[in-house]
Amino acid sequence: MLLHIPGLFSREEVRRIREALEQTEWADGKITAGFQSAKAKHNLQLPEGHPLAQEIGAAMIERLWKTPLFMSAALPHKVFPPLVNCYTGGGSFDFHIDNAVRQPKGSPERVRTDLSATLFFSDPEDYEGGELVIQDTYGVQQVKLPAGDMVLYPGTSLHKVNAVTRGARYASFFWTQSLVREDSQRTLLFEMDNAIQQLTRDVPDHPSLIQLTGTYHNLLRRWAEV
C-alpha cells in the first residue's frame, strides 16, 4: 500500500525548517547506507545525532502520533528516529531496497523496517527531478509531493530518487516497525478501519457497527506482534 498523508506540517513550519536546513552543514549521505546501497547513493545528509536532525525528528514523531491516518495505516510499534537529507547538483539514489533492520546510533533498540516514509520539505517547483520512484504491486509510482506532505509505502519496495538537476530537494525519511508485519494484512485492516469510520459518520446507530468493529479488533489481535 502506498499512501499520501497531506499537511503533516504547515506552510509556516516548513518554511522555518527549510531555512534552518539551508544554513546548516551537511555530510555525505553514504554514512547511513549499507554496503550495496552506498554504491548507488549520491546525496547529502545530516549525521545521526545532529541537533537539527534530532529537533526535526522529535517534532515529526510527536506529529505522527497525533495523525489518525498514519496511526490507522501504519499501526506503529516502533519508529526509527527520522533522518534528514538533501539532493542537489545531480544528486540521486539508484534503485535499492532498504535494510530489513535498522539500529539507531548509540541505542540497543532495533527497528524492523516494515514501512518506509518520506516527508518533503521542498515544493515540486523548487527543484527539477528528484522524484521518488517506487515499484509496487500496481506498477511504478512516481512521487513528488508538496512541502509538508508525506508518503508511506512498504519497506520491501524497490525504490529510487531521480537525479535533481536544478534547485535542492530537502526531505526527511524514516522507517516504522508495525504491529502487523505483512503489508496485505495491514492494508485489509486499514480499509476496514476506513469503512468503520465512514459508517460511524453515516449511520452511527447501525447495529452492525459493533460486529464490524469487533471483527477488526479480532483480526488485529490475531496478526499483531507485540
Query: Residues at the annotated binding site for Fe cation?
Result: 96, 98, 159
Q: Distance (Å, rounded) from C-alpha 30 to C-alpha 190?
A: 35
80 DSSP 8-state letter: P
Binding residues: 96, 98, 159, 169
- Cα–Cα distances (Å) from 156 to 65, 111, 175, 176, in that order, read 23, 14, 11, 12
Contacts of 128 (CB under 8 A, 6+ apart): 164, 165, 166, 167
Cell of 147: 512541502
CB-CB contact of 190 with 69 (8 Å):
no
One-letter amino acid for residue 206 of the chain = H
Binding residues for 2-oxoglutarate: 169
